[in-house]
Amino acid sequence: MASSIAGRWTYLDKLIESFRYRKVVNIIPHGCILVDLGCGDGDFLRYMSPRIALGYGIDKKISCSNMCSDPKLIFKEGDLNVQIPLADAIADTVTALAIIEHLHEPKLFVEEIFRVLKPGGICIITTPSPLAKPILEFLAYRLKIISVQDIKDHKYYFNKNELYKLFNIFQDVKINYFLFRMNTIITAKK
């Protein structure tokens, strides 16, 4: 997963990540219970902490540095290819920023997000669009200015039709492009 190898990211990787953060921050309701899937080092949750009631960060490997002193933030290890290690209907909002393209079973992942969301809750997902694939591969393999390992780990580049089909268990699904159509943001309500 991207977040698990974020320590190998270049400046450009981090810049692209900051664009994703800015795209989703204003969609997340104040005072919500937020679950960030593929949380990496927990930066996004720490950034959101003043605005949320409680935050859960889930990633394959959680380092001790993630265990910050903020009592509102809880970090758990979990394999997102299998199950989100949280109870049913626990979250108001679930985010997964540049994660779904790394998973073997994206349909199971979406079903798990649906399970942990409360009725009326929203999920916010970002993923590279198919248009980004040759550009990301060029930046990684030829120019080596973004993480090669991260790009090698991509399993999918979803088009809009595939995403609508994947999120068909949700209501009010919105899919839009950003960053020059290189990234896709999906917002969906349970």
pTM over 0.95: no
The residue among 1 and 170 whose pLDDT is bigger is: 170
Distances (CA, A) of 109 to 3, 33, 116, 166: 16, 19, 11, 10
SS3 content of the chain, % helix, strand, coil (to 5): 35, 25, 35
Q: How confident is the model at residue 3 (pLDDT cuts 50, 70, 90)?
A: very low
Distance CA 183, CA 92 (A): 24
Distances (CA, A) of 100 to 32, 42, 120, 135: 23, 18, 22, 19
pLDDT of residue 64: 57
Domain topology for 3-189:
Rossmann fold (3.40.50)
